[in-house]
Amino acid sequence: MPLRVGAQILMSGTFYYSAVGNVVTYGVDRITNYRPYYTTSGTLAIQGWATSAPYYGGGSLVGYKLVESPIGTLQGGYYFANVIRTQTLTSLPPPGYYYIVFVLAEWNGSQYVTVDYGNFPAIQPIGVVAPSILSQPQSYTVNVGQALSLTVSASGTAPLYYQWQKNGIAISGATGSSLSFGNAQTTDTGSYTVVVSNGAGAVTSAAANLTVTAVGPGITSNPTSQAVTAGASVTFTVTATGTPPFSYQWRKNGTDISNATGSSFNLPSAQAGDAATYTVFVSNVAGSVLSSGAILSVSAARPTFSAPAWNRTNGFDHVVSIQSGFSYRVQMSTNFLVWTDLTNFTAVGSTILIRDVGATNLTRRFYRVVSP
């Protein structure tokens, strides 16, 4: 510690201060009297003061005198070494955090006056009660999406500081007496503790184990069977409950359909080849479930007839528009009661040319196209 300019009796080296309850150990490495050899100091004493700010001289010391220990007189040119004292505090300032100022004082016949001083480098708690846990955080087992809070109750001199930990690692920003989860997820599963501290110490809570479980999918609405004519739009839909997100895979006759991975599956223009049984697998992190089958039946669109053309050689000619991809039978009748299959017609693409040469001498003839 450098000499103080103009001083005659100085402290040097390291200042010591520690407190256990109301018992204080304090002191300094060395006290030296730089006055002439033939002089003797007045009675010297070391004092410990609690102040709200460091002391740099130039005025009265304002604060609380905690301890004072006379150490005797000191002849000029001599020094005291390892001046360490232990005392019990008989009076305390209000609980709080203070700067500790060391004072070397000399008795002048009527009072002690300051001849040197120094500041302890760290703020010290005085009368501060270390925290203790009154109510431990509780363990929970919840489903994904539920809200919950882990809470601790502690006593001790304010302010109290909190730091929550997950699996022993501090959680950023979790510095309150409660740790809240607004929408718990499986990744939140873990062991949680909280460190409560103040200037007098710290205490760690018991562990609270949080288990967040996912609920497997359940189907509340299965896809329904449908019967449509060719060319119609068909949509199958499934509704599921459980822990989202869900994954979907639609199947046709037990085989996965490429890119059919939504809660609905659409066929914009159903054809004969789409007739099948459709199911869907619904899955999440907890499992999967298969829907019941929805049967799709696709029938041919109703054929349409053009206006007939008649001549004595060919009889009636009809052009019928049909749905390609289906089987048809062309039939004729004279009374709507008895129908006979015709074989004399030509099918090209989506049309049928019916040529009934047997109708040349008939007064009437009826025709129909059926899809067996």
Residue 246 CA to residue 281 CA, distance in Å, equals: 10
For the domain spanning 9-126, the CATH number is 2.60.40
> What single-letter DSSP state applies at residue 43?
-
Specify the pLDDT at position 341: 82
Are 294 and 222 contacting, i.e. CB atoms less than 8 angstroms apart? yes
Task: Flag whether pLDDT at 283 surpasses 50.
Answer: yes
pTM, two decimal places = 0.58
Tens-digit pLDDT profile for residues 198-221: 988 999 999 999 999 999 999 999
Q: What is the pLDDT of residue 2?
A: 37
Reply yes or no on whether the pLDDT at 3 is more than 50. no
Helical (H) or strand (E) element with 72: strand 64-72
The end-to-end CA distance of the chain, in Å, is 113
Q: Kindly tell me if the per-residue pLDDT of 185 is higher than 50.
A: yes
Task: Dump pLDDT digits (tens) for 243-254.
Answer: 989 999 999 999
Residue 281 has pLDDT above 60, yes or no: yes
Instruction: Give me the residues paired with residue 101 across strands.
Output: 49, 119
What pLDDT does 152 receive?
98
Average pLDDT for residues 261-282, to the nearest whole number?
Answer: 96
C-beta separation of 32 from 9 below 8 A: yes
| Statement: residue 369 has pLDDT above 90 | no
As a whole number, mean pLDDT of residues 257-282 equals: 97
| Chain mean position to CA 244 | 15
State the Cα–Cα distance between residues 329 and 222, nearest whole angstrom. 37
Quick check: 149 pLDDT over 60?
Answer: yes
Query: Binning pLDDT at 50, 70 and 90, where does residue 1 land?
Result: very low
Contact 300, 326 (CB under 8 A): yes
Which pLDDT tens digit goes with each residue over 306-349? 655 555 555 556 666 666 666 777 787 888 899 888 776 666 66
Mean pLDDT of the chain: 88
Token pair, residue 85, equals 């004292």
Q: How far apart are CA 294 and CA 237, in angstroms?
A: 10
Q: Which of 194-208, 225-239, 351-365 has the lowest average pLDDT?
A: 351-365
Is the per-residue pLDDT at 360 higher than 80? no
User: Given phi > 0 = left and psi -120 to 50 = alpha, else beta, which region is 167?
Assistant: left
- When mean pLDDT is compared across 88-92, 123-127, 312-316, 363-367, the lowest value belongs to 312-316
pLDDT confidence bin for 361, thresholds 50/70/90: low
The answer to which of 11-20, 67-76, 173-182, 267-276 has the lowest mean pLDDT is 11-20
- The domain made up of 132-213 has a fold known as Immunoglobulin-like (2.60.40)
Mean pLDDT of 110-134: 91
3-state SS class at 117: strand
CB-based contact 126:66 (threshold 8 Å) = yes
What is the CATH architecture assignment of 218-299? Answer: Sandwich (2.60)
